[in-house]
Amino acid sequence: MIGHGSRAELVHAGQADCGIATRAAARSAGLDFVPLVWENFDLAMRQRSYFRPAMQALLRFLNERRLRQRAEELTGYDPSPARLIRFAA
């Protein structure tokens, strides 16, 4: 199985016309990037788990400036919806 970086390198070397990879992999190889789809990822948990210290630490990290900065560096990532509760039962 070929990883994102390897695919980008194959395209960069002219051994492939295109490949499915992340924007960061394409950027690091000096290639253009055409997004095919935007995916959202949700974290599902029991309500009681939300209040545990480890989960609160993760949620705090998702709102930290350094995470937003890293997402900007990689491009194509948007952590702004982090900590939103979409459904509570």
Reading the block at residue 60, the tokens are 């705090």
How confident is the chain (89 residues) per 10-residue block, as mean pLDDT?
A: 78 88 85 87 90 94 91 84 82
What's phi and psi for 63, nearest 5 deg?
-105, 0
The residue whose two tokens read 């599902």 is: 44
DSSP 83: T
Per-residue pLDDT at 88: 82
Q: What is the token pair recorded at 45?
A: 């948990």
pTM confidence score: 0.61
